[in-house]
């Protein structure tokens, strides 16, 4: 039986600038954000990394990013879950949300915000490595574990990062840890 787990941290795509007359969580994606979310979704699909479950912050920009991803990956709505705790979450909260998933979820994708997403991605592997996730960028870590509760970020055996601004495979970062 395959004991691998994959956690993909996806930062939401580019959103409208903050507006003092609107709640931060209501900011929608820009045209560039929509395009970048579709680009990164196609790259995930090309790798065969279709998530079993997508958990997203309740902010409009993360939900729109996750909806675009789901459309490109042909995910049913039942595989998208919004979690209030992910709005501006710190790394410990994001990790806690991941560890709550059942053993049947082999590939979990969390669509959230910075700095929490980048800070958690920087902990993947035995040696911390700074990973700055730009908008619509992801860090995808592979773990060998029977379930989510028995794994820690530092136990990642590989991590791949991608960003819609990276135009060729050579520009993308991959590492065995």
The answer to whether 108 touches 148, Cβ cutoff 8 Å, is: yes
Q: How confident is the model at residue 170 (pLDDT cuts 50, 70, 90)?
A: very low
Per-residue model confidence as pLDDT tens digits over 54-79:
999 999 999 999 999 999 999 999 99
Domain ranges of the chain: 4-176
Q: Which helix (DSSP H) or strand (DSSP E) does residue 120 occupy?
A: helix 116-121
How many whole angstroms separate alpha carbon 100 and alpha carbon 25?
A: 24
Region 99-127 average pLDDT: 97
| Mean pLDDT, rounded, of the chain | 94
Looking at residue 85, what is its pLDDT? Answer: 98
| 4-176: CATH topology | Rossmann fold (3.40.50)
The answer to whether 138 touches 151, Cβ cutoff 8 Å, is: no
From the list 161, 57, 55, 32, the residue with the least C-alpha distance to 102 is 55
For residue 177, give the 3-state DSSP assignment: coil
How many whole angstroms separate alpha carbon 117 and alpha carbon 97?
A: 12
Token pair in block for residue 108: 């979990």
């Amino acid at each position: 039986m395959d004991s691998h787990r994959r956690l993909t941290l996806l930062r939401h795509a580019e959103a409208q600038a903050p507006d003092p007359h609107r709640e931060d969580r209501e900011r929608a994606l820009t045209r560039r954000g929509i395009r970048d979310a579709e680009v990164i979704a196609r790259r995930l699909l090309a790798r065969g990394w279709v998530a079993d479950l997508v958990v997203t912050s309740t902010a409009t920009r993360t939900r729109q990013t996750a909806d675009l991803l789901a459309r490109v990956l042909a995910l049913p709505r039942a595989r998208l879950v919004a979690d209030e705790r992910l709005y501006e979450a710190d790394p410990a909260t994001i990790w806690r949300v991941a560890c709550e998933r059942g053993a049947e979820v082999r590939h979990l994708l969390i669509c959230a915000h910075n700095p929490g997403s980048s800070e958690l991605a920087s902990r993947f592997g035995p040696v911390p490595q700074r990973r700055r996730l730009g908008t619509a960028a992801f860090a995808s870590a592979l773990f060998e574990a029977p379930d989510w509760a028995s794994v820690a970020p530092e136990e990642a055996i590989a991590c791949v990062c991608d960003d819609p601004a990276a135009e060729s495979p050579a520009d993308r970062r991959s590492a065995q840890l």
